[in-house]
Amino acid sequence: MPAWAGSGQIIFSASTEEIWVDGRPEKLPAPPFFHGDYIMVPLRPLAKLLGGEVHWEAGEPDTIKVILGGRHAVTHPGSRTVVLEGEETETQILPVPVQEARGILFVPAVFFHRVFEVPYARWAEGNAYLLGSSNRPPLAHFVVSQPVYAGQPVRYTVKAEDPEGDPIAEERWEGRQDIFSQPGSYTVTLQVKDARGSWSKPLSRLIHVLPDPANPQPGDLWAGGELSPTLTYEPPVRRTGPPLLFSNSPEYIKEPGILYQDEVEERARLYFWHAIEHPETFKVYVLAVNRSREEVELTVEREGYGGPSTNVFLVARQALAQYFMEAQPRTLTLKPGEAAVLNRIQPSACRHQVLHGILDVKATGKVDILFVAALASQKVLREYSRLPYLPADGVHARGTFGPADIEVELSLSGQETGELRLADGITDQFLPSLKPGASAPSLKGNYGAVYRIRVVPQQDTEAFLVPVSGLFAGTVLVDGRLVNVPREGFVRQGGQPVYLGRLKAKQAAEIVLVPPGGSYLPVKLVFDPREK
């Protein structure tokens, strides 16, 4: 009888449905598994990929017919015997029986080799198996010269290897560009084929393309070299504005309850940042309760919300962008004894998702503010008074701190590169607690504080924000323009400058910044004169 004369290579491994057919990914209906020392594979899909077909004939017993490479084989579920039909009948004994699992027929992988003479091989260090070829595939590998700048040529160096010493005959690229026109992150993938026709698995690399140093845009990671400030600014600071009611403890919500509560009069800033750690969906509410005998009007002057999401950087940016740019004041009238929900957006969040909000409010009288975690199915205005006051988690902050506005006047008169430190607790003090019951005497990081930095340079000056500890992503206002810091993704390492823009000589500029939730503090503003 003729032996299998097909071509192509199938690579598979135990416990995964993913296989590779001539270097292209495919999926099996169920993963291969071990029966003793032998790996079992789905019969029908592998036979089809090798150019064959499988037929099932019901009976006593049920019969399985496999046609592949001109050979006809017959076996039965639970049997180790395979009969080759033809002019001369031959019999093969398999090391383990044919099996049916979850409606899928499995055979030992050596079935194809012993019965149809399909090439078969295994290599231990790769924990992988080959059908259709005994030629082990090569390994793709390449490096890209660093750094990579937008608009400049990229140099790729291929360092592929073949375990059997075969020459590399062909390369297959996806996403490769000799010049990336825009900064950002790009995925580049390489596969290689050896001289005997075996394709490697693909190797992908994430290429971080930096902006052209000659033409940076606000929010770009700075690629113009290291910034080395020679002086630290310590300008006069005015601490004004409302108290900050801060709810971040317990950060992980495990049950319904009151997260934080305090009384406010006149103005206040309300801030919450919480993650759900419960199998059911939750909402976080900000409630105002009028416990006085007089009617109270409460105006929400500015507000921003983020989430639900597991991406803390996205959550912070969503809230800050709304808070900075979408001020639409609205007024609620609270009768004596009446309660109302203040946060305009109350999305449901599931486990591991974060909910965030910042609200500036003004009241004509005293009101109680409650931050409440409730099951999404609960009627919060009806049930909040019966909820327990949740204990702080001992790690994160809650309390009333302030004043929560920090105003800085900075004159850049020299030609040296200087830095202004923010939220470091040393040159810039943390907001102190204003009332008993806070989790700490001050608010580390000054999250929720609004910094307004007025800068007057005497000559054209480049402005940068530099996270000190890395893992940072926020949104700032530079002369009323919203700038994501950085423009894409997040800062991964401390000391990486993010370009904010060029400040014109003798023209006052204003930078407004709120330390973003989920990011590491402190940060520095660095001002670098262009003519030295």
Q: Report whether pLDDT(161) > 60.
A: yes
**Residue range 140-145: mean pLDDT, rounded:** 93
Predicted local distance difference test score (pLDDT) of residue 80: 93
**Residue range 166-185: mean pLDDT, rounded:** 93
| pLDDT tens digits, 313-369 | 999 999 999 999 987 899 999 999 999 999 999 999 999 999 999 999 999 999 999
Report the C-alpha gap between 248 and 274 in whole angstroms.
6
Using DSSP's 3-state secondary structure scheme, residue 201 falls into coil
**Residue range 33-51: mean pLDDT, rounded:** 92
Beta strands, E only, 448-522: 450-457, 461-467, 474-478, 481-485, 498-503, 509-513
Cβ-contact 516, 474 below 8 angstroms: yes
Q: Report whether pLDDT(532) > 60.
A: no
Predicted local distance difference test score (pLDDT) of residue 125: 59
Given pLDDT bands bounded at 50, 70 and 90, which one contains residue 128?
Answer: confident
| pLDDT tens digits, 286-295 | 999 999 999 9
Nearest by Cα to 465 from 394, 519, 385? 519
Concatenated DSSP letters of 46-58: HHHHTT-EEEEE-
Nearest by Cα to 458 from 394, 509, 399, 412? 412
Nearest by Cα to 74 from 88, 56, 101? 56
**Residue range 165-176: mean pLDDT, rounded:** 94
Predicted local distance difference test score (pLDDT) of residue 4: 56
Cβ-contact 211, 182 below 8 angstroms: no
Beta-bridge mates of residue 91: 83
**Residue range 168-183: mean pLDDT, rounded:** 93
- Average pLDDT of the chain, as a whole number: 91
Cβ-contact 232, 427 below 8 angstroms: yes
| pLDDT tens digits, 56-106 | 998 888 899 999 988 899 999 999 999 988 767 789 999 999 998 888 999
| pLDDT tens digits, 436-473 | 777 789 999 999 999 999 999 989 999 999 999 889 99
Report the C-alpha gap between 13 and 20 in whole angstroms.
10
Given pLDDT bands bounded at 50, 70 and 90, which one contains residue 130?
Answer: confident
| pLDDT tens digits, 501-529 | 999 999 999 999 999 999 999 999 999 98
Predicted local distance difference test score (pLDDT) of residue 1: 46
Q: Report whether pLDDT(126) > 70.
A: no
Predicted local distance difference test score (pLDDT) of residue 136: 87
Predicted local distance difference test score (pLDDT) of residue 134: 82
Q: Global pTM?
A: 0.65
